[in-house]
Structures are given as C-alpha cells and as structure tokens.
Amino acid sequence: MMSATSTQVISGPSRRLKANLLRLVVIVAFFGIWGWAQGPGEASTLIVPKIGDVFNEFFSFLRAGEVYDALRVTLIELVIALAIGALSAFAVAFWSARTDLRAKVVEPLLVWGYLVPHVLFYPIIILWLGVGMSSKIAYAASSAFFPIAFNCLRAFRSVDPKYVALGRAYGASPRQMDWQIKFRASIPLAAAGLRIGCALTMVTVLVAEMLSATNGLGYLLKYYSQSFNTARSYAIILVILLVVGLFYMLISKLLPRDMERRA
C-alpha cells in the first residue's frame, strides 16, 4: 500500500547524500542486471527487451500524438474518479460522524465495502455504462470511496477530547466546533485516507483500462503486450510509472503534512 502516513526525517546533508548514493546504486544494479540478462544472460527479447529499444520507443512516444491522447483520457478518468470518490466519501463520513448511532451503522458497512474486491462489479458497470470513460470513472470512484470514507469517519470520531474541551471552554459555537476544532483536528488522519484512496484510484483506473477500454494508458499497455511488442510495452510502463509518480507527488504536495506532532 502506498499510504505514506509517516514522514521520514533524514536530517543532515551527509545523510541525505548517503541515501541518494544508495538509491543510485540500486538503479545502476537494476540496469546492470537487465543489461546482463540481455547480453550474457541470453534472455529472449520477447521477455526482456533491449534497454536501448525501450528508450527509443519511449522517446518516439513522446514525439507521437498517440500516447498524449491516451494520457489525457487516463488523467481525466483519474481526476474525476478521485474527485467523486473523495467528495462523496467526505460527505458520508461527515454525516455519519454526527451521532453515535449513525457511526455504528455505517462504519462496518465501510469496512465491508473496503474489503470486497470491487473488480467483481466491473463487468456489471461496463454493462451499465459501456466501455468508455464513464465506466472507468465509476469503478475507480467506488474503490476510492471506501478507504477514504472509512478513514475520514475514524478521523472525525477520534478527535482528541481535549481540543473539544478547549473549544467549549473558550466559547466556540457549534459551527466553529465542527469546522475549526473537530474538522481541523481530523485532517492528518483523513489525509492518510485520501492518500490510500489516491493510490487505489490509480490502480483501478489502469486495471479497468486493461480489462476493457477503447483508450488510455492501460489500454495501450494491453494492446502492445498482446501484439508481442515488448519494448513498447516496457516503454508504456515507463510512461505510467512517471505519471503515477508525478500524480502522487502532486497529491502529497497538496495534502497537509503530518504536522500535528504532540504539542
């Protein structure tokens, strides 16, 4: 799971240098093994393509229009799915957190929805919405909904009572208590849920495109691998990895950091 809930603090320039060197070593070793498999290892190019071929394909992708079109489709699906999933999850969590009864009823449902493999419903979603973008959005939004809703509900329910006492003692109105104390105090935990939701959205969108679609990065990957174009498949994986990495970086930047160290 890509839920980076803990922020690691590596302090000092020498430590950072060490960490970066180690990362470099890992990357070099990876390509070393790849190169070896291609040369002395005598692996088939159908299984492990030549490194140069992959990069050639990658750069020709960047020049041609096809991949941008697929990228646009995938990104639109991603953003809309995440927006729908997160907003509805937030609304449900906020509503459920208001009373003990609602929370008691809703929480197990969310856990259940979290655990169920949503891919089961994908064929039915396709029946409803067709193979276009809307089925990907619906599927990804429904998978993102549950972890986000569950974490938000937990976050709203577990606000440290001392902050609530402070709000009462210093005259916060019910509205101020809701938004400026309870909501604000629950942001770190809710953000952790949102991170999980993001990761899930990316996975589900790509998987859905691979299962059945007419466009998108996942669709391209399936198409190239099924036509035994391994170098191109690897190149598209590279594109996907870059997109996922950038998307995740963006989300991490937007979400508040884990600043609530015990004051």
- Site residues for other proteins per CB under 8 A: 162-163, 165-173, 176, 180-181, 184-185, 187, 259-263
Distance between first and last Cα of the chain: 29
Taking the complex as a whole, the smallest distance from the CB of residue 235 to other proteins amounts, in Å, to: 44
CB hemisphere CA count around 51 (13 angstroms): 11
Taking the complex as a whole, the smallest distance from the CB of residue 187 to other proteins amounts, in Å, to: 8
**In 64-99, alpha helices (H):** 66-96
For residue 123, give the DSSP letter: H
Residue closer to other proteins by CB (options 98, 168) is 168
Taking the complex as a whole, the smallest distance from the CB of residue 260 to other proteins amounts, in Å, to: 5
How far apart are alpha carbons 141 and 97 in whole angstroms? 21
Taking the complex as a whole, the smallest distance from the CB of residue 10 to other proteins amounts, in Å, to: 19
How far apart are alpha carbons 204 and 78 in whole angstroms? 9
Taking the complex as a whole, the smallest distance from the CB of residue 72 to other proteins amounts, in Å, to: 37
List the structure tokens of 46: 């159908």
Residue closer to other proteins by CB (options 50, 184) is 184
List the structure tokens of 252: 């991490």
How far apart are alpha carbons 205 and 189 in whole angstroms? 25
Residue closer to other proteins by CB (options 65, 161) is 161
List the structure tokens of 85: 């999933």
Taking the complex as a whole, the smallest distance from the CB of residue 156 to other proteins amounts, in Å, to: 16
Residue closer to other proteins by CB (options 18, 168) is 168
How far apart are alpha carbons 52 and 42 in whole angstroms? 16
Residue closer to other proteins by CB (options 131, 187) is 187
Residue closer to other proteins by CB (options 185, 231) is 185
As to burial, measured by CB atoms within 10 angstroms (0-12 exposed, 13-18 middle, 19+ buried), residue 96 is buried
| Residue whose C-alpha is closest to residue 144's, from 96, 204, 75, 95 | 204
